[in-house]
Amino acid sequence: MSNNPPDDTRPLSKREEERLLKAGRSVFSTAFPNPNREGCPSQDLIQTLARDNAQLAQHQDFILHMSRCSPCYNDFARFRKVAQRAKRTKLLAAAAVIVIICVAAWLVVRARHGLPHEYPAAFDMSTQLMFRGLGGNSAESKGPMVLRRGIADLTLYLTPGSRTGPYEVGVLTESERVLITTPGSAAVKGTRPALTARLDVSRLNPGHYLLGIRPPGADWSLSPLVVK
């Protein structure tokens, strides 16, 4: 190794180092041939310094040597490139690992809970037990509607003369607390108005509920609903 000149004991800043390397590409790489590698440090040390900026900062002697030794300059530049590529690869690998973990976690969650099953379900509302508004009158019923947990593509046949147009469809607790609402719309199908809506009951616990339908702003018309 050559000796440090007395006026150059200040560590190089990163920018200075980069400038040196850049300028070196045209000058240092060829201007200072040292075929016998006199005063050169070991390849191991050059490789370490190319990888480790903190260590490089403590080896001003090497930086100075490199500025006068084209073979060392070229070794350093080559190791540096490899080290930076490895760092980038490591970052990419880390990102890939994170993505893989997320996908695996998602698959586990999906396998455990299952994707909501989507199925068609049709009911004749004229035969359902109907409560008009809060605690209203009841009529004869053929038992409650039953929906399986999942996403029901509902078709609700309304009593003749029911209004068509937009509706709101909801699931309420038996104490009439609204749990789910979804938009629906009624149109005449054949001879009767039918209300269609996509109702997601995949997250409801199995049990007894009320199915509510209402035109916007009106009171709920409620019917017993069982979710299985």
Q: Which is nearer to Zn ion, 69 or 145 (CB)?
A: 69
Q: Which is nearer to Zn ion, 59 or 162 (CB)?
A: 59
Specify the stretch interacting with Zn ion by CB under 5 A; choose among 23-31, 66-74, 81-89, 180-188.
66-74
Among positions 40, 145, 172, 211, the unique one binding Zn ion when judged by CB under 5 A? 40
User: How do 151-157 and 221-227 pair as beta strands?
Assistant: unpaired
Count of positions on this chain that bind Zn ion (CB under 5 A): 3
Q: Rounded to the nearest 5 degrees, what angle is found at the Cα of 54, between the Cα atoms of 4 and 31?
A: 45
For residues 199-216, b (16+ Cβ closer than 10 Å) or e, as one string?
A: bebbeeeeeebbbbbbbe
* Residue 175 phi, psi dihedral angles, 5° rounding: -90, 15
Burial of 129 from C-beta contacts in 10 A (0-12 / 13-18 / 19+) = middle
**Should residue 50 be labelled a site residue for Zn ion when binding is judged by CB under 5 A?**
no
Site for Zn ion contains 72 (CB under 5 A): yes
Least distance to Zn ion from the beta carbon of 83, Å? 19
Which of these ranges, 33-41, 120-128, 162-170, 199-207, lies near Zn ion under the rule CB under 5 A? 33-41
- Applying CB under 5 A, the span of 32-40, 149-157, 158-166, 209-217 interacting with Zn ion comes to 32-40
69 contributes a contact to Zn ion by CB under 5 A = yes
Give whole-number Cα distances, 125 to 143, 164, 226, in Å.
11, 14, 15
Selected range binding Zn ion among 61-69, 80-88, 185-193, 201-209, rule: CB under 5 A: 61-69
| Minimum distance of Zn ion from residue 106's CB (angstroms) | 53
Q: What would the two tokens of residue 46 be?
A: 């050059």
What is the C-alpha to C-alpha distance for residues 201 and 185, in angstroms, rounded to an integer? 19
Residues that bind Zn ion (CB under 5 A): 40, 69, 72
